[in-house]
Amino acid sequence: MRILVPTLLLVFLWHAAFGSAKTDSILTQLKTEITRGKFYDNQKEAFIRGLKVKLAATPQSNPDIRYDLCSQLYEEYKVYQSDSAYVYVQKLINLGLAAHNPQKVNESRLKLSFLLLSSGMFKETFECLDQINTRVLSNAARMDYYYTKSRAYSDLADYNSDKAYAPYDQKEAIKYIDSAIALTRPNSFEQLYFMGNRQVILGQLQQPSEYYINLLSHYNLTDHQRAMVTTGLSFFYNGANQDDDRIYLMAEGAINDIRSSTKETLALFKLGQQLYVDGNVKDAYTFMQQAMNDADFYGARLRKMKIAAVLPIVASREILVTENEKNKFLKYLLYIGVIAVLISLGLFVVFIQLKRVKEKERIIEEKNILLEKINEKLTEDTRIKEEYIGYFFSMISGYILKLEKLKRNVERKLSIKKYEDISVTVNEINIKKERETLFYTFDHVFLKIFPNFISTFNSLLKKEDQVWPKDHEVLNTDLRIFALMRLGINDNETIANILEYSVNTIYVYKMRIKAKALVPSDQFDQKIMSIKAVDVLNKS
């Protein structure tokens, strides 16, 4: 009675804590943990790699240290990946045989029995257990031996599920779990867990196990231990109104299996079965698929067979549910589509009118922009033409007067036959000076029209590559070439004729400047052509 009262109180508290809201919450948490499974596995793999490095660095002359490291690697692998665990069990057996240590050999075979049982190989499991000499085992190992044998018979009874063999297997399972309990320390995890497991084997599931509840309430359990206990406790919640409690416990067990990277697990599969029965087909399929992935990763053959027998049924139901949801969605979509069409018809005329108005506005805006650019260009061209036409008329008039004066002077000297004086008169014409005057006047007129040309030109170059006229210059050759380009003279031959250079020289000048430019070559020309005339600048 002293035990029963607190047990019933705990059961009441557990039942009050669980509900639909908590069930939904923990299923959401489980889905999140499934997505984080790779993170936990990576942590485990990193720890395993560290042990492997230590083992590789340990010489064969230290068999005891190698045995301990192999034992640690087995423990890491035994519920994670059976094939890898099997490799290290074989190493343990070989080390025990080499050391002529019967205790190590038999304890290693006990480990092998666990792997064979977890893989679903009952015949091999019993053969391996029968080879073990329990007299040479430590108390802890002998306890594990009896528990492993109990689990083997219990799993076999569950697998057979008949009236001929299952009762005998169940009886043997109870006999060996009792032997394991007898070797446990009082109030230890093993004692309470085995006592709860005994209730499950006997089918004493009317009341939640006080042993499991005690472990969850008062013991500091590892993730793997918590997964084992919560999964075991879920079997006690099998009543018609206890689905939420059962689902919550199995989900908690599955979460702790994921966190401990346990692939040899039952919780996720049982949870999927329960959710399928409850009609939550979508989550049932998700969890069963994950359970199949875990069983395949671990190498649990029997578990894979059980899941494979159920998974196609759940998958077909999930497809059916999805199709029904899709049909409902299509119906709703059709209703919304009809309403949308009616609204669209009402707005269509307004939309067309607005579109026409916007199109006309867009065309007008584009035309205005184009006209503005044309006016700007015309203004600039007019300004250039006015300046240079006046300049060239003035220059040409001056040269005509000089030619007329020269002609009269030559004619006069010819008439009086002073031929030597004619040569002197002709030599008085300084072509170089005349050309410098021409360039000087051209440069002044150009900078009058484009006062920002030099600074804008140099802004396209690095500081160390910039081109500035010397004190006695207005424009130098580099600037004058691009000034002619700005006026629309792009042909290298024409520029060469004006400046009295070869075409190749003009090309070299251009390429040298463009190679140093901060912008690509084609953009450099565009930047030069975009330099504004003074009237355009003032206008803007």
Please say if the pLDDT value at position 119 is more than 90.
Answer: no
Residues in the chain: 540
Our measurement of the distance from residue 243's CA atom to the centroid of its chain's CA atoms, rounded to an integer in Å, reads 38
The stretch 183-210 carries a mean pLDDT of 94
Task: Supply the pLDDT for residue 315.
Answer: 67
Task: Supply the pLDDT for residue 4.
Answer: 42
In whole angstroms, give the CA distance from residue 283 to residue 278.
11
Choose among 291, 294, 332: nearest CA to 310. 291
Longest dimension (CA), the chain: 158
In whole angstroms, give the CA distance from residue 389 to residue 370.
27
The stretch 471-480 carries a mean pLDDT of 84
- Three-state DSSP at 461 gives strand
DSSP character string of 407-427: HHHHHHHHHTT-HHHHHHHHH
Please say if the pLDDT value at position 160 is more than 90.
Answer: no
pLDDT, one tens digit per residue, over 136-153 is 999 999 999 999 999 999
Task: Supply the pLDDT for residue 223.
Answer: 94
Please say if the pLDDT value at position 50 is more than 60.
Answer: yes
Token couple for 434: 């005349």
Please say if the pLDDT value at position 18 is more than 60.
Answer: no
Task: Supply the pLDDT for residue 262.
Answer: 93
Task: Supply the pLDDT for residue 471.
Answer: 79
Exposed / middle / buried, residue 229 (Cβ in 10 Å: 0-12, 13-18, 19+): buried
Dihedral (Cα; 97, 101, 106, 111), 10-degree rounding:
-70
Dihedral (Cα; 215, 219, 222, 226), 10-degree rounding:
20
Residues 6 or more apart in contact with residue 179 via CB below 8 angstroms = 146, 150
Task: Supply the pLDDT for residue 73.
Answer: 95
The stretch 33-48 carries a mean pLDDT of 95
In whole angstroms, give the CA distance from residue 114 to residue 89.
11
Please say if the pLDDT value at position 8 is more than 50.
Answer: no
Please say if the pLDDT value at position 201 is more than 50.
Answer: yes
Neighbours of 427 (CB within 10 A): 8
Between 11 and 404, the more confident residue is 404
In whole angstroms, give the CA distance from residue 101 to residue 78.
23
Q: What is the pTM of this model?
A: 0.58
Where does the pLDDT of residue 226 fall: very low under 50, low under 70, confident under 90, or very high at 90 and above?
A: very high
The stretch 209-217 carries a mean pLDDT of 95
Residues 6 or more apart in contact with residue 483 via CB below 8 angstroms = 443, 446, 450, 453, 475
pLDDT, one tens digit per residue, over 353-384 is 777 778 877 887 877 777 676 666 556 556 56
Choose among 109, 215, 193, 197: nearest CA to 155. 197
Neighbours of 457 (CB within 10 A): 24
Choose among 451, 486, 454, 449: nearest CA to 467. 454
The stretch 55-70 carries a mean pLDDT of 94
pLDDT, one tens digit per residue, over 256-294 is 999 999 998 889 988 888 888 888 888 888 888 898 999
End-to-end CA distance of the chain: 100
In whole angstroms, give the CA distance from residue 283 to residue 305.
21
Domain definitions of the chain by residue range = 4-265, 319-424, 430-539
Task: Supply the pLDDT for residue 413.
Answer: 67
In whole angstroms, give the CA distance from residue 328 to residue 325.
5
Lowest mean pLDDT among 50-59, 206-215, 478-487: 478-487
Residue 70's φ and ψ, nearest 5 degrees, are: -65, -35
Q: Are 393 and 445 in contact (CB under 8 A)?
A: no
Lowest mean pLDDT among 169-173, 296-300, 336-340, 529-533: 336-340
In whole angstroms, give the CA distance from residue 444 to residue 480.
11
The stretch 441-456 carries a mean pLDDT of 85
Where does the pLDDT of residue 302 fall: very low under 50, low under 70, confident under 90, or very high at 90 and above?
A: confident
Q: Which residue has the tokens 């009236």?
A: 163
Please say if the pLDDT value at position 494 is more than 50.
Answer: yes
Lowest mean pLDDT among 264-273, 316-325, 380-389, 481-490: 380-389
Lowest mean pLDDT among 59-68, 84-93, 119-128, 430-439: 430-439
Where does the pLDDT of residue 14 fall: very low under 50, low under 70, confident under 90, or very high at 90 and above?
A: very low
In whole angstroms, give the CA distance from residue 387 to residue 538.
17
Lowest mean pLDDT among 49-63, 182-196, 334-348, 491-505: 334-348
Task: Supply the pLDDT for residue 46.
Answer: 96
CATH class of 4-265: mainly alpha
The stretch 152-165 carries a mean pLDDT of 88
Question: Mean pLDDT over all residues of the chain?
Answer: 83
% of the chain beyond a pLDDT of 90:
41
Instruction: Report which DSSP code applies to 18.
Output: -
Task: Supply the pLDDT for residue 143.
Answer: 96
Per-residue CA distances from 85 to 92, 128, 142 (Å)? 11, 16, 21
